Structure 1
Amino acid sequence: MRLFSVSTLLLFFSSSGLALQIQCYQCEEMTHDCSTPEFIVNCTVNVQDMCQKEVLVKDDGIHYRKSCASSGACLIASSGYQQFCTGKLNSVCITCCNTPLCNGPRQKKRPQQSAAFPVGTPHVWLHVFVLLLSSVLC
């Protein structure tokens, strides 16, 4: 019973965003936005903690590059190319994000949740997990 409880808790917390691995879309020089399931990859645990998206405007249209990235490398690249992100011919825009599949198409804005109890806050769930785990194992 304890093993079942611990397994259930671990599954719950890994699906709630506390996992240390992120999924991103990955493709090279595609002329279409490669945001479909066959382009989803698992990034390297504890190394690649962000998704990166490059949008290049060329003579023959818009090209996309998407990948996993480390936060340092992605943020340096995006800041280095900021001056070239014009939306015109030869434009290069690089963006970084840190939620699963965030380098895909833009998400529609959702209505804001109530601020009474921030359920999605990871540190709150971590405390709840530790308390439940200690009560199960004791």
Structure 2
Amino acid sequence: MQLLTVSTLLLSFFSSGLALQIQCYQCEEMTHDCSTPEFIVNCTVNVQDMCQKEVLVKDDGIHYRKSCASSAACLIASSGYQQFCTGKLNSVCITCCNTPLCNGPRQKKRAQSSSAITLNTLQVPVFSLCVLLLLRSILC
């Protein structure tokens, strides 16, 4: 009976945890930073796992393109345009990130202690440890 309960809990956790959906800002050739709620979109589950931001410097000012992207496509694009990211006229900078709404405006940096670790880096190891401890208590 306990094994059935644990199995059900694990199945529900994995079914909700593996199908992660990220939210990103999405706009095309805007002359203002389109980081407002009306530009938030849900990316395609298990396909678009990153947010992409393009900043283009043109004659008439700075233009923004923001979208959801697959990690492979975004990383290839950003590395291909790295040499054109100068901040000067005709500059193109493409960045990729993988947290919700990370292609929005830059967050003000806060002083972090050296022991600060984000939740994303801890989720899998902590969950694995919990599962092992739970299984050990059931099976032993």
Shared fold, TM over 0.5:
yes
Partner Cα separation in structure 2 for residue 74 and residue 127 of structure 1: 30
Which residue pairs with 2:138 in the alignment?
none
Structure 1 letter corresponding to 2:111? P
Partner Cα separation in structure 1 for residue 127 and residue 19 of structure 2: 11
Greater RCO (CA < 8 Å, at least 6 residues apart) = 1
Partner Cα separation in structure 1 for residue 127 and residue 94 of structure 2: 33
For residues 131 and 113 of structure 1, do their structure 2 counterparts lie closer, same or farther at Cα, with a shift above 3 Å needed?
farther
TM-score when scaled to structure 2?
A: 0.75
Displacement of 1:41 in angstroms is 0.5
Matched, 1:35 2:35: yes
Which residue pairs with 1:76 in the alignment?
76
Matching of residues 1-138 of structure 1 within 5 Å: 20-113=20-113, 115=115, 120=119, 121-127=122-128, 130=131
> Cα deviation per residue 1:5-63 (whole Å; 9 max; x = unaligned)?
x6xx96xx86xxx7611110000000000000110111111110100000001111000
Partner Cα separation in structure 1 for residue 79 and residue 31 of structure 2: 24
Displacement of 1:130 in angstroms is 3.9
Structure of greater Rg:
2
Partner Cα separation in structure 2 for residue 60 and residue 100 of structure 1: 30
Question: Partner of 2:21: helix, strand, or coil?
Answer: coil
TM-score when scaled to structure 1?
A: 0.76
Question: Partner of 1:124: helix, strand, or coil?
Answer: helix
Structure 1: gaps spanning 5 or more residues? none
Structure 2 letter corresponding to 1:35? S
Structure 2: gaps spanning 5 or more residues? 136-140
CA RMSD of aligned residues (A): 2.9
Partner Cα separation in structure 1 for residue 62 and residue 118 of structure 2: 39
Percent of residue pairs bearing the same amino acid type: 81
Displacement of 1:111 in angstroms is 3.0
For residues 105 and 119 of structure 1, do their structure 2 counterparts lie closer, same or farther at Cα, with a shift above 3 Å needed?
closer
